[in-house]
Amino acid sequence: MIYTKNLTKTYNGTTVLNIEELSIPKGQSFGLVGNNGAGKTTYFSLLLDLIKPTTGNITSNNVVVDESEDWKPFTSSFIDESFLIGYLTPEEYFYFIGELRGQNKADIDNLTAKFEDFFNGEIIGKKKYLRDLSKGNQKKAGIVAALIGHPEVIILDEPFANLDPTTQIRLKQIIKDLAQKQGVTVLVSSHDLTHVTDVCERIVVLEKGNVVKDLETNPETLKELEAHFSGGTIFSDEEE
Amino acid sequence: MVLFALYFVAVFIGLGIGLLYLLKEGFPDQDPFVVANNYLFYWIIADLLMRFFLQKLPVMSVKPLLTLPIKRATVVNYVLGKSALSFFNFLPLFAIIPFSFMLVSDGYETSLVLTWMFTMMISVLIINFLNFIIEAFSAESEISFLPIIVIIGVLFGLNYFEILPMTSLIGSGFLAIAHHPILILIPIIILGLCYGFNFKILKKKLYLDSSLKSKVTEVNASDLSWTERFGDIAPFMKLDLKLIWRNKRTKSMVFLLFIGVLYGLFFYPQPVYREMTFMFALIGIFSTGFFLINFGQFIPAWDSGYYKLLMSQNIKYEQYLRSKFILMVISVVILFVLGIPYVYFGYKILIAHFAAAIYNIGVNTHVILWGGSYNRKKINLDKKAAFNYQGTGAVQWLIGIPLMIVPMGLFGLVNWLVGFAAAIALLMVLGVAGIVFHKKLMKFITKKYINSKYKMIDAFSQDN
């Protein structure tokens, strides 16, 4: 589904991302972890053609993303608050995204009704502008907007940050359902190792722009990741 | 908005230089300096009124300072000091200083004029701080503009019914200070009191749950289903209309429509201008294109806050731009229709305005959209509206040349060489040509935008 080849991004001589080859099959829930500056958001921005690759490219469903715009109809994303339109209410925002993605009002109403639990009564019918919502509620609206119009690829940058515990648990269920039941390719990045291991079938660790680990999730994965990020010494010492 | 601010600066400088002459003309047997002082009362009232609606204390900017080891008193002084640097305080200087120069060169005593000038500057600051006191009281009352209306109304009434002759009272006050410099202590003390009072109010309110709380506004939803007739660009039109109506910075656009309509009234009532046929084109372009220029110059920066979203969404750039185009065309048509009464000043004016409207629709809309592809400055929609230069770069200056100077020059030249009819025809032909080639032009413009996509995304995500 998504194939990355020889991808690098360089700013003023500093390479911030360097991926030789990475292939993500359809319907996989894919997790990207790494410290600040590891290149997670850079990779997602390249995937959405928001920045131009220095070399190489990404192919999504046989479309080279920086050459054609044909990936847009089946791709959706929520990266940060700049994906929200502050002066709209959540409903208006959903309708607007819906119109761009060929959905009518009834479709949107159906969709948002399904997320009543997730919204916890704080989003719909509140007569508030998105810019006046709390960070967590803004995130909820942004994530649900990314599900509009049956996308085949969904990209969520740090979806768990700012959410309350209940919503985090609900979001995990939503992401799992998307990948397992609907065959959607979900790309998630996070700083929270527990959440990613819970949700993703596969986890890639980025460090200074390079892929340093590529793991199939199994019961040991969380330990392995924790060991990696704590410097690789503490846990291995204990085990020996 | 820049044009707007500059316009005011120019008007004030003009006023400062011309006032002495005007007063001598209007009141030949009175001392112009005395007359000017008698009018100060009206200036004070007008200034207070204007500030009340446009100027707000910059309290929000101190939020980050609260948790730092800085005394609350310092923070309050900083906020109040910052307010003294507002554009509203500099604007009167553009009139006061030239007027003072004119007075001195007219033979008035330098020391007298200097004292007067300083008194005026202190008065500007008094008005500045007085306004914040009034605003503080307004915030607590139910009808927020009641206090200012009452204060202004009472002062005006006292003066008008000659119960308390405010005009001569204030006038002779200023004169007395000018003649006895020691009295300047009085306004300085008043300024000190106003400052102290503000300090007290503000210190009490500098907490996150009182004045620093950001206001949550109720949504005003209006029915925009009429936009559906525009087909595939309807979503963007709805978005643009909400953009204009729901943000402080853009809301002032609506008022610009009125200024656009009334713009001709600055010129046409004076016979001097009615003789200058070449001016008709410029006034016509400006008057029918007032919204076009002010809105258009910041395309696509209006959407800079969520530009990444638009760029990753399933949209056609051409539709996005066409929505802005249609909006500008509608504004030109509305402004032209509202300006039809100018025919009162002569049918030639109406014809010139019509030609200018066609030129605006056919040429200027495309020019300004094209110019927009060079915009690299972000705009924060939540920031205050009046005299906000954010988002202004070289583009906004350069675009004025093809937008206004070129049509005026062409019109003036042909009008002078051939005649009025030919000049009108030229503007119309250019305009119609633009309309005919609309599709081609839009294709070219769209390409420009696509080419600068990455640069724009990058620029719009920087906080400047």
Task: Tell me the two tokens of residue B432.
Answer: 């119609």
Domain boundary among B205, B234, B266: B205
Answer whether A52 touches B (CB < 8 Å): yes
Answer whether A150 touches B (CB < 8 Å): no
Task: Determine the pLDDT at residue B462.
Answer: 81
Answer yes or no: do B106 and B251 share one domain: no
Q: Is the pLDDT of residue A106 over 50?
A: yes
The total of structural domains in chain B comes to: 2
The total of structural domains in chain A comes to: 1
Q: Is the pLDDT of residue A168 over 80?
A: yes
Of B217, B457, B461, the CB nearest to A129: B217
Return the residue of A nearest to B245 by Cα: A87
Look at residue B145 and tell me if it is in a domain: yes
Q: Return contacts of B66-70, CB within 8 angstroms, 24+ apart.
A: B66/B206, B66/B208, B66/B212
Answer yes or no: do B187 and B269 share one domain: no
Of A83, A89, A99, the CB nearest to B308: A83
Supply the ipTM of this predicted assembly: 0.87
* A87:B381 CB<8 A: yes
Answer whether A68 touches B (CB < 8 Å): no
pLDDT tens string, chain B, 464 residues long: the values are: 566 677 788 888 988 888 888 888 888 888 888 888 888 888 888 888 888 877 777 776 777 777 788 888 888 888 888 888 888 888 889 999 999 988 898 888 888 899 999 999 999 999 999 988 888 877 766 666 677 778 888 888 888 887 778 888 888 888 898 888 888 899 999 999 999 998 988 888 777 666 555 556 666 667 777 777 888 888 889 899 888 888 877 877 777 677 778 888 878 887 777 777 878 888 888 888 888 888 888 888 899 889 999 998 888 888 899 999 999 999 999 989 988 888 888 888 899 999 999 999 999 999 999 988 988 888 887 765 555 566 666 677 677 777 888 888 889 899 889 988 999 999 999 999 999 999 999 999 999 999 999 999 998 888 65
pLDDT digits (tens, 9 = 90+) for A188-226: 999 889 999 999 999 999 999 999 999 998 888 888 898
Peptide bond into B300 cis (omega under 30): yes
Amino acid at B280: F
Q: How far apart are CA B459 and CA B464, in angstroms?
A: 9
Q: Which domain holds residue B385?
A: 225-460
Task: Determine the pLDDT at residue B52.
Answer: 81
Residue in the structure block whose two tokens are 């940058």? A157
Number of Cβ pairs < 8 A linking chain A and chain B: 79
**Could you write out the DSSP letters of every residue in B405-420?**
IHHHHHHHHHHHHT-H
Q: Which residues of B touch A132 (CB under 8 A)?
A: 214, 216-217
Answer whether A73 touches B (CB < 8 Å): yes
Answer yes or no: do B105 and B177 share one domain: yes
Q: Pairing between strand A2-11 and A14-24?
A: antiparallel
Q: To 5 degrees, how large is the angle CA A212–CA A218–CA A222?
A: 60
Q: Which of A44, A85, A89, A130 to mutate to test the interface with B (most CBs of B within 10 A)?
A: A85
* B221:A49 CB<8 A: no
Q: Which domain holds residue A90?
A: 2-239
Answer whether B241 touches A (CB < 8 Å): no
Answer yes or no: do B37 and B104 share one domain: yes
Task: Tell me the two tokens of residue A9.
Answer: 């991004």
Please check whether residue B423 is in contact with residue B279, taking contact to mean a CB–CB distance below 8 angstroms. Answer: no
* B457:A51 CB<8 A: yes
Look at residue B112 and tell me if it is in a domain: yes
Domain boundary among B140, B170, B205: B205
Q: What is the CATH number of the domain that holds A174?
A: 3.40.50.300
Q: Pairing between strand A63-64 and A75-78?
A: unpaired
Q: Is the pLDDT of residue A240 over 70?
A: no
Q: What is the mean pLDDT of chain A?
A: 90
pLDDT digits (tens, 9 = 90+) for A180-194: 888 999 999 998 899
Look at residue B292 and tell me if it is in a domain: yes
Q: Which residues of B touch A102 (CB under 8 A)?
A: 314
Answer yes or no: do B268 and B193 share one domain: no
Q: Which residues of B touch A92 (CB under 8 A)?
A: 221, 242
Residue in the structure block whose two tokens are 């731009």? B321
B71: which DSSP letter? -
Of A76, A82, A88, the CB nearest to B242: A88
Query: Strand order in A2-11's β-sheet?
Result: A63-64, A55-60, A2-11, A14-24, A210-216, A202-207, A29-33, A185-190, A153-157, A75-78
User: How close does chain A come to B314, measured CA to CA in Å?
Assistant: 5
Look at residue B215 and tell me if it is in a domain: no
Answer yes or no: do B236 and B147 share one domain: no
pLDDT digits (tens, 9 = 90+) for A17-69: 999 999 999 999 999 999 988 999 999 999 999 999 999 999 999 999 988 88
Task: Determine the pLDDT at residue A237.
Answer: 44
Q: Is the pLDDT of residue A235 over 70?
A: no
Look at residue B216 and tell me if it is in a domain: no
